[in-house]
Amino acid sequence: MGKGAEARSNNRCTLYNSNLMDTGLKNRVAIVAASSQGIGRATAEALAAEGCRVAMCARNAQTLHAAAEGIEKQYSAEVFAQALDVTDAEAVHRFVEEVASKFGSVDICVTNAGGPPAKGFLAASVEEWRKAVDANFLSTVYFAREVIPHMQRKHWGRIITITSITTKQPVPDLVLSNAVRAAVVGLVKSLANEFGKDGILVNNVGPGYTATDRLKELAKTRSGATGKSEKEIFEGWSADAPLKRLGEPREVADAIVWLASERASYVTGQTVLVDGGLYKGL
Ligand code: NAD
């Protein structure tokens, strides 16, 4: 390489390195649904740490406001929190409108809800199927319908759905999740195709076994069904993953931060698993 070319190449490196840690998320407005605890809360926290203004919601007002106040204090972040059920389309509409009027826009929307109960097919009632569709599919539709027009106006947006490893690999006693999450992936791909022209990137994140209250519930159900202790169930989950441990909510949140950031500006319509390698396919 000639001296001129080398200097130009070095300059490029210098420029890139000086910008290395910038996610471009400062002052972005981020909604994180179902965020009073677990992966949702960790995501709200991680986005606040990047300088986002964060809007949080969940059903339980007390836990939600405690989480919001904690994040506000720790990161000196602007946080708006409102108690609501993500299966209530009208409540989601009002929430998104309030966020937009308080913060001026909506740039990022992370959809989330509690997971469906662990059941085999014949044990799941029709009512449970309806609830799973409402919580784990339609809630995503409600948020997407509300936030997309705001994102179109700015020609910039990120929608990130939190689903599960079940989008790639069914889990034996989670038939509700195995079936309903697939619809979210179909929606994600469709939205990515339809709204890419508007600068809106739509991706899905699938956690593997992650240390939250949801997992404790799952361990209890499995323990009851198999006679194994909860400790053995947890050890089994860790052993199944090549990384030989459970994930931390923060590790899922970090993947979401990356997808929301300028660093993922050419990534859309994808499912990213954060599962310690648990998914066994190619
Ligand atoms: P979690 O139970 O710890 O937290 C769920 C959050 O959702 C809470 O803040 C709760 O208040 C809120 N919520 C539940 N239903 C709601 C509703 N209808 N309206 C508003 N808020 C609601 O769960 P988590 O482990 O953080 O999981 C988040 C998502 O990721 C779930 O869909 C779960 O099934 C999925 N997931 C979790 C794991 C895991 O190992 N933890 C693995 C794969 C997938």
User: Which pTM was predicted?
Assistant: 0.94
Please give the Cα distance from 270 to 201 (Å, whole number): 10
Measure 165 CA to ligand 1 centroid, in angstroms.
14
Q: Which atom of ligand 1 is nearest to the CA of 246?
A: 40
Please give the Cα distance from 108 to 114 (Å, whole number): 20
Closest by CA position to 137, among listed 159, 157, 163, 160: 163
Q: What is the pLDDT of residue 20?
A: 61
Handedness of CA 11, 259, 31, 93 (dihedral sign): positive
User: Could you tell which of 31, 32, 36, 39 is best to mutate to test the pocket of ligand 1, judged by most ligand atoms within 8 Å of the CB?
Assistant: 39
Q: One digit per residue, pLDDT tens: the chain, 282 residues?
A: 344 444 334 444 444 455 566 999 999 999 999 999 999 999 999 999 999 999 999 999 999 999 999 999 999 999 999 999 999 999 999 999 999 999 999 999 999 999 999 999 999 999 999 999 999 999 999 999 999 999 999 999 999 999 999 999 999 999 999 999 999 999 999 999 999 999 999 999 999 999 999 999 999 999 999 999 999 999 999 999 999 999 999 999 999 999 999 999 999 999 999 999 999 999
Q: Which residues are paired to 206 by β-bridges?
A: 273
Measure 236 CA to ligand 1 centroid, in angstroms.
21
Among protein residues, the one with the nearest Cα to ligand 1's atom 11 is 58
User: Could you tell which of 130, 166, 173, 212 is best to mutate to test the pocket of ligand 1, judged by most ligand atoms within 8 Å of the CB?
Assistant: 212
Q: What is the pLDDT of residue 141?
A: 99
Q: What is the pLDDT of residue 76?
A: 97
User: Could you tell which of 35, 65, 112 is best to mutate to test the pocket of ligand 1, judged by most ligand atoms within 8 Å of the CB?
Assistant: 112
Measure 214 CA to ligand 1 centroid, in angstroms.
6
Amino acid 181 reads R
Measure 268 CA to ligand 1 centroid, in angstroms.
23
Q: Are 39 and 255 in contact (CB under 8 A)?
A: no
Q: Which CATH architecture has domain 24-209+248-274?
A: 3-Layer(aba) Sandwich (3.40)
Q: Which atom of ligand 1 is nearest to the CA of 213?
A: 3
Q: What is the pLDDT of residue 46?
A: 98
Residues with CB under 6 A from ligand 1: 34-40, 58-60, 85-87, 112-115, 135, 162, 164-165, 207, 209-210, 212-215
What secondary structure does DSSP assign to 44-109, as a single string? HHHHHHTT-EEEEEES-HHHHHHHHHHHHHHHT--EEEEE--TT-HHHHHHHHHHHHHHHS---EE
